[in-house]
């Protein structure tokens, strides 16, 4: 009897102990039980507790298990029974182990594997996602749900009180947001894994990448291919043996960032410009740019305009659900999708990305 396809959970960047505590999870078995709750037996879930509950010391190089983490990635990528690899969080410490990973094990895969991750996992999605038997999805590490929902509901509470012309107490709004996140966290985590299964089944996700046209022109519909992710994680790949995996020649370059100032992002944009990446891109996708609670997306667009050639009139779009933000929508890398543009009678043109989920695994 053939083994059921497997969804594997791991943490190969920063450790995930704190996120597990917020979920009320004490070990890998409890995590598997939670993640399996809404799958109806269609998939088997496994979790590497050693990775997820690892120790980390930021003053002494972060994680001390580099070789073990590289072996974890290689083993999963080589296993045809693994249908999905879900990195439960991003963080730090992953980029330095890239050279220890033999990504060419993916050349021997017979079945497609979907990889879910964002933030520090940008390089994993960018590199693995270009292999024929990999669908790399820039999608949240599900432990981000707590912070994302907390921020989202804190702002909703603030906006509601202002609209009702009631006194706004920031501490009360923050408490409301944290309470809401705590109360919904486990259910949302399980629902995300159920959505992973739906994507594997070709039914896709109800979360649709959408936003607006910021500059340039677009037809009503256009097939595009996307590369990119977190801009600070992309930067170390420039000039490396992995540079080709982020080359946007004939593609759209997607960028997002968290906890960096506009000046720091401008410096990174200059790096992309000097390396030729901005000029080679067919178009630019901007996601959410945030430094703490400050939304810098508008400021980053103003900075970006200083780096683009006016004569090219490159199209630039903003996806409001791409990046370290809730809700976030999955964005496939290295796979053809349809960029749709709708021009209302008034206001800015709206854009969305149509993902052919039932065909995404074929290449």
* CATH number of the domain bearing residue 247: 3.50.30.60
Residue 360 within a domain: no
216 and 340 housed in the same domain: yes
Residue 347 within a domain: yes
Residue 293 has pLDDT above 60, yes or no: yes
pLDDT confidence of residue 258: 96
Residue 205 within a domain: no
pLDDT confidence of residue 312: 85
CATH number at residue 121: 3.40.50.10740
Give the DSSP per-residue string, 300-326.
HHHHHHTTS-TTT---EEEETTSSS-S
Residue 255 has pLDDT above 80, yes or no: yes
266 and 276 housed in the same domain: yes
157 and 274 housed in the same domain: no
- DSSP code, position 346: S
pLDDT confidence of residue 164: 82
134 and 160 housed in the same domain: no
189 and 67 housed in the same domain: yes
Please give the radius of gyration of the chain, using alpha carbons only, rounded to the nearest integer.
20
Task: Report the sign of the C-alpha dihedral through residues 265, 271, 276, 277, in that order.
Answer: negative
Give the DSSP per-residue string, 118-140.
-GGGHHHHHHHTTSTTEEEEE--
Does residue 125 contact residue 233 with C-beta atoms inside 8 Å?
no
Does residue 10 contact residue 45 with C-beta atoms inside 8 Å?
no
Residue 76 has pLDDT above 90, yes or no: yes
Rounded average pLDDT over 140-158 = 93
Residue 361 within a domain: no
Rounded average pLDDT over 202-230 = 97
Residue 1 has pLDDT above 60, yes or no: no
154 and 253 housed in the same domain: no
Instruction: Report which of 116, 164, 131 is spatially closest to residue 12, judged by C-alpha positions.
Output: 116
Residue 1 within a domain: no
Instruction: Report which of 21, 9, 285, 256 is spatially closest to residue 120, judged by C-alpha positions.
Output: 256
- DSSP code, position 104: G
Confidence tier at 135 by pLDDT (50, 70, 90):
very high
Containing structural domain, residue 215: 210-354
Residue 359 within a domain: no
Beta bridge partners of 66: none
Residue 189 within a domain: yes
Find all residues with CB under 8 Å of 81, minimum gap 6, and list them: 3, 5, 6
78 and 170 housed in the same domain: no
171 and 104 housed in the same domain: no
SS3 236: helix
Give the strands of the sheet with 113-117, arranged side by side: 44-47, 6-10, 82-87, 113-117, 134-138, 331-333
243 and 262 housed in the same domain: yes
Give the DSSP per-residue string, 143-186.
THHHHHHHHHHHHHHHHHHHHTT----HHHHHHHHHHHHHHHHH
137 and 173 housed in the same domain: no
Beta bridge partners of 232: none
Residue 362 within a domain: no
51 and 189 housed in the same domain: yes
Digit-coded pLDDT (tens) for 162-208: 888 788 888 989 999 999 999 999 999 999 999 999 999 999 999 99
Domain count, the chain: 3
Digit-coded pLDDT (tens) for 17-50: 999 999 999 999 999 999 999 998 889 999 999 9
Rounded average pLDDT over 119-144 = 97
74 and 89 housed in the same domain: yes
Find all residues with CB under 8 Å of 169, minimum gap 6, and list them: none
Please state which of the ranges 23-32, 70-79, 339-348 shows the lowest mean pLDDT. 339-348
């Amino acid at each position: 009897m053939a083994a059921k396809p497997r969804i594997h959970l791991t943490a190969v960047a920063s450790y995930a102990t704190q996120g597990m505590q917020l979920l009320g999870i004490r070990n890998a078995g409890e995590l598997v039980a939670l993640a399996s709750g809404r799958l109806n037996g269609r998939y088997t879930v496994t979790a590497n507790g050693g990775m997820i509950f690892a120790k980390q010391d930021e003053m002494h190089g972060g994680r001390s298990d580099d070789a073990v983490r590289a072996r974890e990635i290689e083993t999963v990528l080589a296993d045809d029974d693994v249908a999905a690899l879900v990195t439960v969080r991003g963080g730090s410490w992953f980029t330095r182990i890239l050279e220890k990973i033999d990504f060419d094990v993916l050349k021997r895969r017979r079945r497609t594997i979907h990889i879910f991750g964002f933030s520090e996992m940008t390089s994993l999605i960018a590199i693995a996602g270009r292999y024929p038997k990999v669908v790399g999805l820039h999608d949240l590490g599900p432990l981000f749900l707590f912070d994302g929902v907390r921020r989202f509901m804190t702002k909703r509470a603030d906006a509601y009180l202002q609209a009702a012309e009631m006194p706004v107490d920031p501490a009360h709004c923050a408490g409301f947001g944290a309470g809401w996140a705590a109360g919904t966290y486990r259910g949302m985590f399980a629902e995300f894994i159920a959505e992973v299964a739906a994507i594997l089944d070709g039914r896709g996700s109800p979360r649709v990448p959408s936003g607006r046209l910021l500059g340039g022109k677009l037809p009503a519909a256009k097939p595009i291919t996307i590369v990119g992710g977190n801009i600070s994680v992309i930067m170390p790949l420039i000039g490396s043996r992995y540079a080709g995996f982020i080359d946007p020649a004939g593609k759209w370059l997607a960028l997002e960032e968290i906890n960096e100032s506009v000046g720091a992002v401008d410096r990174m944009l200059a790096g992309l410009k000097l390396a030729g990446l901005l000029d080679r891109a067919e178009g630019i996708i901007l996601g959410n740019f945030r430094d703490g609670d400050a939304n810098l997306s508008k400021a980053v667009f103003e900075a970006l305009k200083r780096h683009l050639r006016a004569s090219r009139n490159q199209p630039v779009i903003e996806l409001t659900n791409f990046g370290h933000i809730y809700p976030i929508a999955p964005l496939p890398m290295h796979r053809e999708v349809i960029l749709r543009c709708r021009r209302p009678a008034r206001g800015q043109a709206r854009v969305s990305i149509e993902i052919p989920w039932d065909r995404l695994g074929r290449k």
